[in-house]
Chains A and B, each alone.
Chain A
């Protein structure tokens, strides 16, 4: 072998070794990387692979139904039909959409959403085109099916309130769950349920936890484009509980129609059991507007209505109870032994305290009155006089026992406590001591004192039935046999007699609306509460009649009543904002309401109290 060959051969052997070393190094890198990925990071990547593979989807639980006392459905789940477009099933989905829009129109902002979803959603994912198809629309779609490849009709669930607007403020409504509802906790599984609705007001909101049930879980294996390959595990959804209320939907709607044109409220209660038979706030609205996202136009209409339809006036409307409070003052007087049924007091039309004159509503004065007569005529001076002797503490204590100053808690949220003013409260609020004038204002239910219609009715119902009832809307919370209230029954009887006289004795403030129907009579108490202070000048010029005042300056009108007179069963309140006067506006409505209750009781055997 020649020298150059020998040299070359030697170099090549060394160089081959060099290449081998380089390769061995690369091999080490590869093995090291494999070890790192598969052993050191194996667990992490296994988790990531599982996350890729498994998709957990929620399935919709059936929301509990709401019934009235007679088993009438107040809230139910209705099947709805929606049109969806599945891109991959259409050769040209844009053309399909155009054909669809020629048949059924879609709102502008909805169209923007649809076009956006069609762009980014996977081809096999349905895009919602139109909700709540009517029967006609579905027929139209079926007839034109050949022009609409990719359009499918899907079934959905919708909350539906079939029983009329009278029930809206009790039942409430639901609307779509948003991220705000879960405090931005995006892990809340309910967010993954398209069309999941939660209660916003009324029973729908207060009983949300019972009604909602529990979503089911479906674990499925998905592939890289998100299509389900197979279902791994499935927990079915648990339906929500049904709820039966104490209200009578017929009475609700009847009550609402009685309040037509007013900002007003009505509550009807069984004084023996505390069941609330009707709870109406007028004006009302159709709860079904909210189940589909409410349109801006409708929302603004409701929001800017001066009669505030969105407010439940029974629970959150605060008013001075006015003359109604005289019942409480009288009871406090008797309880403290200051007055008895035969205590006579002379009304001259006014009382002067220091340099301040307190007038009776009847300027000429009532003359000498007994307690019953004072209630019947609603004499202010009588109560000015006795309140000075009783003192505010006893009056407040009595009022609190009857339900003033704290929420009644009937099973709805958003109830106001009202205000039962005390010396301590006034000090704190105004830095001023309680004065005698405050006591006089309190004695006729004016001044700082305010209460909700529900509180006023509860107080009267406790007086009428003599029982310490707990008013409620929920059938399951009705007490079988409530305890007697902690007042002498004979005193309560005197108050009732006073109320009976208001309606049934000539000269009573509500004598005009008396009735005798199938052996039923009612007793009641009118109240007219000033919305604005009457100035001395006006008083001198002669008071204008309520009709001459603009509506917002007219007095509030309240009438509270119970029936039958011998063994009271029902109590009710009619409260009309700016109604002008208790006897003029509220009492006639009450009379008609009570006769409706009798009709329902007599003709269709409205289930008697006791619940079970």
Chain B
């Protein structure tokens, strides 16, 4: 570790050996992530009726695979990501267009590209690609530039195009996450607060127009959220059962493998979006608070890593990815607790699902990469040389 005190790191040909990187890796951060995944595996074991099949073992396997991605990405050179940020974004956008042209329709939405061996979900790739692209865009921008409207047109378009494509799929949850993550980055890099206020007011005023673009099932979800009694056996039933499951856990929970609501299938999607309710049912308030503490720790760590990073690209990237992670947590928990419409966002690292796990681990790999390369100097255009 003493290595980082070395002034050499400010040299223009700043370069770390693999050993440096392995030592520089933030293992506490990884531990927090692993703990959450293990909690998820335990719950999946319970949801499977006290069995590793069909979910727990698969989830564990997927995490192991994702972990190699995390490590591999952490070992890369941060400049590489700066260099290819726009390219990655371009590929992501292309894939999204492909999906809207010949994507696979599943569950009433067109989200997947069938690659034969793997169902690729380009909207997941876009979550990372957009943050990379925005980080690259704002990396070399001065405050004065950021505060001009003209300078903000390209990043807004960068966000708006994929959001429109994803809304059309339709996937309200992912679209919302992209918008919020981008706004987070805009805020971070110093866009004036009054612009956000204007945007929010404009958004509220244009609500009726947006409403007409929503699909019927999305409208129904929002309406059911606003008035759950209107559909007690449909989506309202799910929200009601979700609250019953959460609440019935009480302070101490019903005990591991003792959750009646989940075991008797009163919970829809119990292994994916509604997994928090199972945790809360079996481990009570204690269990859910422990999980929230772990999530908080992961978020705080992400921000600290960003704060310590000397280059803007890394800073923005780490903050963006952490915001993205936090959005998963917020949207899912608020949705499950009946404070938000059901939009189909999984609980990160807990919910069963390969794509989300992989995307999240790629994100964590990038954050680790930022952490390892925090003292790296990156020029305005991504070159070593700066001013």
Contacts and interface: CB of A to CB of B under 8 A. Distances in A.
Interface of A: 2, 4-5, 7-9, 11-13, 15-16, 18-20, 23, 26-27, 29-31, 33-35, 37-39, 41-46, 48-50, 52-53, 221-225, 229
Interface in B258-282: 260-261, 264-266, 280-281
B61 interface: no
B366 interface: no
Nearest to B316: A12
Given A39-B285, A46-B247, A49-B245, 19 more contacts: A4-B144, A8-B190, A11-B189, A12-B190, A16-B306, A18-B187, A19-B184, A19-B303, A19-B323, A23-B326, A30-B292, A30-B334, A33-B337, A42-B247, A42-B249, A45-B246, A49-B248, A52-B244, A223-B266
B188 A19 contact: yes
5 contacts: A2-B387, A4-B144, A8-B189, A12-B315, A229-B264
Contacts of A35: 285
Q: Which one of A11, A26, A27, A53 has the greatest number of beta carbons of chain B within 10 Å?
A: A27
Contacts of A30: 292, 330, 333-334, 337
A46 B190 contact: no
Interface string B135-168: 0000001111000000000000000000000000
Interface centre among B141, B266, B387 (most CB of A within 10 A): B266
A38 B190 contact: no
A19 B319 contact: yes
Contacts of B280: 34, 37-38
Interface string B233-260: 0000000010111111111000000001
B184 A225 contact: no
Nearest to B242: A37
A49 B261 contact: yes
The 3 A-B residue pairs with the shortest CB-CB distance, nearest first, are: A45-B247, A49-B248, A42-B250
Given A39-B285, A53-B260, A225 B265 contact: yes
Contact of A33 (B141, B190, B339): B339
A49 B247 CA distance: 9
Interface size class of B (residues with CB under 8 A): 35 or more
Nearest to B295: A27
A31 B281 CA distance: 16
Nearest to B323: A19
Interface string B304-330: 001100001001000100010010001
Contact of A48 (B144, B244, B300): B244
Contacts of A12: 188-190, 312, 315
B284 interface: yes
A41 B247 contact: yes
A223 B260 CA distance: 9
Contact of B264 (A26, A43, A222): A222
A471 B117 CA distance: 91
A38 to B, nearest CB: 4
Interface string B321-363: 0010010001001100101000000000000000000000000
Contact of A16 (B265, B296, B307, B312): B307
A171 to B, nearest CB: 47
Given A30-B333, A49-B261, A38 B319 contact: no
- Chain B contact residues: over half helix, strand or loop, or mixed? helix
B6 to A, nearest CB: 19
B108 to A, nearest CB: 22
Nearest to B144: A4
B232 to A, nearest CB: 13
B288 interface: yes
Interface in B9-49: none
B289 interface: yes
Given A34-B280, A49-B260, A52-B244, A42 B387 contact: no
A240 B245 CA distance: 42
Contacts of B133: none
B387 A4 contact: no
A23 B329 CA distance: 11
B129 interface: no
B157 to A, nearest CB: 22
Contacts of B247: 37-38, 41-42, 44-46, 48
Nearest to B319: A16
Given A8-B312, A30-B337, A39 B190 contact: no
A4 to B, nearest CB: 4
B337 A37 contact: yes
A42 B254 CA distance: 12
B285 A45 contact: no
B299 interface: yes
Contacts of A41: 247
* Max chain B Cβ within 10 angstroms of own Cβ: one of A34, A222, A223: A34
A8 B141 CA distance: 9
A611 B184 CA distance: 97
B244 A11 contact: no
A9 B303 CA distance: 14
Contacts of A50: 260
A178 B250 CA distance: 41
Contact of A4 (B142, B250, B284): B142
Contacts of A23: 299, 326
Contacts of A5: 312
B289 A20 contact: no
A13 B143 CA distance: 13
Nearest to A3: B142
Given A38-B246, A38-B280, A27 B261 contact: no
Residue of B187, B248, B251 with highest tally of chain A CB at under 10 A = B248
A4 B326 CA distance: 30
Contacts of B333: 30
Most B-side CB within 10 Å, residue of A16, A38, A46: A38
A26 B330 contact: yes
A27 B243 contact: no
A39 B250 contact: yes
A102 B251 CA distance: 60
B251 A42 contact: yes
A2 B142 CA distance: 11
B199 to A, nearest CB: 16
Contacts of B339: 29, 33
Interface in B168-205: 184, 187-190
